[in-house]
Structure 1
Amino acid sequence: MHLLFQNPILSTWTAHAISFGIGLTYVGSIYLSKNARLSFASKLKLAPGEATGNFPRSKLKEERWRDDPDVIKARMAAVSLATILICLWVLGILWRRVGGTLDVLEIATDATLLRLGFYPLSLSINPYQLLDLRSYSPHFVTPVLFIGPLLGSFLGGQLPGQRNWYWQSHIIARFFGLQGARNYWVGPITEEIVFRACVLSIYQLSGASKKKMIFLAPLTFGLAHAHHAWETYNRYGRTTAAAKRAILVTLFQLTYTTLFGIHVSYLFLRTGSIWPAITSHIFCNTMGIPEIGYELATYKRWKQVIIVTYLAGIAAFIYVLPRWTLTSDNLYWPSEPNTQHPFGKY
């Protein structure tokens, strides 16, 4: 027995509803726990200059903001539990489809792990697989796009081994503190499992085309960040300027996260693995939003080189994206006959 399903087992509207439910479950989990919820003072007394909406106001003693240690801990626990429950939700859909008996539970579990893109991890423990460059090429697609920003970091001496790079501040403090655990580990891992693996597996079960999955499914991911608008509005003083800032920041974040979602959705579908999407997410969070304007103003002697490098990164990304993500025996994106991987035949 297998769970490839020649015909869709879910309707399009059912897939939309489940996708919305997945996003609601993930985001809603941080509001169920009192420790994970934010709180803001009912009355604010703004200091001079705090009403402009350009800078966050001072935090009051009785308030709870998202970077408070206990809030970070509670939210990481909440989204981790939500991620497990959502994965079990996908398992339940597959299990019910094949009878819902204990006899087929193991089969449904294996099929769920395959559809969620976890199985490639088991291949990585093979010593021969560790030496195979083809296994790693999808992980380098996103860094190619950031060749321009990486040059900016190089010019600022911020890359490992350079004058302004320090192990304690750039690695230990950044990646292994509470905020680092949230920003670079728990957040990217849980979000990719939920909004890529789970959401896309549901749409695939509805018979959605690759194009629809790549361009429509990421909207769930983008909308899941809209709740940050309320936090921005409160942190910047609950003024008209703060409301405008909250709207603009939310629209920018919605656009950026949706575009990023399109990229990692392609990575997931093209490779059938969740791991390239996770490493891409971690890398993008590490790099942040490219600041070409700042780099051009700061390193004026390198202006033309910076512009050319940014453009070269975009061109190289477009070139390597379909080539470095080619994967054989992929449930989501079957390889075409006689195709060849850039690092050798599969």
Structure 2
Amino acid sequence: MQNESEMALQMETLPQIPVLTSVSCSFALAVIYVGSLYVWSTKHNRDHPTTIKRRFASVSIVMLIAPLFVYFFSSPELLEREPFPKLLGFRWQGLWQAIVIPYLLTALLYLGPIFVNLQNESFSSYFALDYWRGSVTSIIWIRNHVMAPLSEEFVFRACMMPLILQSFSPMTAVFITPLFFGVAHLHHISERLALGVELSTALLIGLFQFTYTTLFGFYSAYLFARTGHCIAPLLVHAFCNHMGLPDVQDLWQQELWRRVLAICLYLAGLAGWIYLLPIATDPALYDNKLFWNV
């Protein structure tokens, strides 16, 4: 006979759906998301307010459609067993932990860049009312810090991960879904070509963007699977969009002692992040018994 722990683990394991179903649905979601950005006929570039507003409308519709894939293609047994919002990463248990811990963990990763920002005027601007007034009234800021993280994490994590997790182990799912996320950003190549950028340059930038968006996708998918919350990758995504890639040029403009200290903090932040990642995302901290059973 099975002991109680084995029976509990069996009860918590996600029911399976065919691999073809989960992968096809994920591919369709990626195509629909990217396609929604180009349904409008416009002569403006991606940063023009008209283009941004239209894309807001498009991805909002996609966000309404995406949960239907989870609802109609998930295992009926899973839908009967678990509340549907829980599958999408919306639940009360472990919520405050999912808001605070992954955010602080990601800030640790950016320890070096944060130190560099403290040395210039950019950090002090965060305490100025005019900075926030200008930010929340800027449609580009809203796109980068609100709509892009919200729509991408909802579609590529909250709606895609539950499907992939029903066909693959959690770690395999973490490495599969970011590929859809990375490929979804390759459409920027065509936008750069339309602006007159040379093909070789556009391809190089596109490859670089695919690389770092895929790497972030691994992290984001890992957070979703480990915490069982959509809010964790969403807030981390917004924070990473704000911080951007480390400004190496700004680093080398620092005085020697600050530069050495900053480099040490870069390395310490990375080492600390690697060490704390499995600890700070322990599913037990978030009462997550659904998505991570390994």
Same fold (TM over 0.5): yes
Amino acid at match of 2:76: R
CA contact (8 A) 1:267 1:277 kept: yes
Looking at structure 1, the residues matched to 156 and 280 of structure 2 have their Cα atoms a distance apart, in angstroms, of 23
Cα deviation for residue 302 of structure 1 reads 1.3
Matched, 1:215 2:175: yes
Residue equivalent to 2:58: 78
Deviation by residue 1:187-236 (Cα, 9 ceiling, x = unmatched): 10110011112111111112x0122111121000000000110111121x
Cα deviation for residue 174 of structure 1 reads 2.5
Matched, 1:280 2:236: yes
Residue equivalent to 1:67: 47
Structure 2 vs 1, CA of residues 229 and 201 (structure 1 numbering), >3 Å: closer, same or farther?
same
CA contact (8 A) 2:63 2:151 kept: yes
Amino acid at match of 1:289: L
Structure 2 vs 1, CA of residues 321 and 186 (structure 1 numbering), >3 Å: closer, same or farther?
same
Superposed, 1:122-141 pairs within 5 Å as 136-141=100-105
CA contact (8 A) 1:222 1:257 kept: yes
CA contact (8 A) 2:227 2:282 kept: yes
Matched, 1:185 2:165: no
Looking at structure 2, the residues matched to 299 and 233 of structure 1 have their Cα atoms a distance apart, in angstroms, of 39
Residue equivalent to 1:317: 273
- Secondary structure of the residue aligned to 1:84 is helix
- Secondary structure of the residue aligned to 1:158 is helix
Looking at structure 2, the residues matched to 293 and 12 of structure 1 have their Cα atoms a distance apart, in angstroms, of 45
Matched, 1:12 2:15: no
Q: Structure 2 unaligned segments of length 5 or more: list them.
A: 1-10
Amino acid at match of 1:136: V
Q: Structure 1 unaligned segments of length 5 or more: list them.
A: 39-62, 125-129, 337-346
C-alpha RMSD of matched pairs (Å): 2.5
Structure 2 vs 1, CA of residues 312 and 123 (structure 1 numbering), >3 Å: closer, same or farther?
closer
Give the total of aligned pairs.
281
Cα deviation for residue 87 of structure 1 reads 1.1
Looking at structure 1, the residues matched to 244 and 151 of structure 2 have their Cα atoms a distance apart, in angstroms, of 19
- Secondary structure of the residue aligned to 1:119 is coil
- Secondary structure of the residue aligned to 2:121 is coil
Looking at structure 2, the residues matched to 275 and 285 of structure 1 have their Cα atoms a distance apart, in angstroms, of 15
Residue equivalent to 1:256: 212
Deviation by residue 1:129-160 (Cα, 9 ceiling, x = unmatched): x6xx686222211111000000010011321x
Looking at structure 2, the residues matched to 195 and 134 of structure 1 have their Cα atoms a distance apart, in angstroms, of 18
Looking at structure 1, the residues matched to 162 and 177 of structure 2 have their Cα atoms a distance apart, in angstroms, of 10
Deviation by residue 1:324-346 (Cα, 9 ceiling, x = unmatched): 12233321114x8xxxxxxxxxx
Superposed, 1:156-195 pairs within 5 Å as 156-159=120-123, 162=124, 167-168=128-129, 170-195=131-156
CA contact (8 A) 1:139 1:280 kept: yes
Superposed, 1:186-205 pairs within 5 Å as 186-205=147-166
Q: Which is greater in Rg?
A: 1
Cα deviation for residue 92 of structure 1 reads 2.1
- Secondary structure of the residue aligned to 1:32 is coil
CA contact (8 A) 1:141 1:317 kept: yes
Cα deviation for residue 112 of structure 1 reads 2.5
Looking at structure 2, the residues matched to 115 and 142 of structure 1 have their Cα atoms a distance apart, in angstroms, of 24
Larger mean CA deviation between 67-76 and 297-306 belongs to 297-306
Residue equivalent to 2:39: 32
Q: Does 1 or 2 have the higher relative contact order (CA < 8 Å, sep 6+)?
A: 2
Looking at structure 2, the residues matched to 138 and 20 of structure 1 have their Cα atoms a distance apart, in angstroms, of 28
Looking at structure 2, the residues matched to 234 and 332 of structure 1 have their Cα atoms a distance apart, in angstroms, of 42
Deviation by residue 1:98-156 (Cα, 9 ceiling, x = unmatched): 59xxxx8xx58x63211110113x875xxxxx6xx686222211111000000010011
Looking at structure 2, the residues matched to 73 and 299 of structure 1 have their Cα atoms a distance apart, in angstroms, of 43
Structure 2 vs 1, CA of residues 24 and 233 (structure 1 numbering), >3 Å: closer, same or farther?
same
CA contact (8 A) 2:67 2:159 kept: yes
CA contact (8 A) 2:102 2:236 kept: no
Structure 2 vs 1, CA of residues 14 and 143 (structure 1 numbering), >3 Å: closer, same or farther?
same
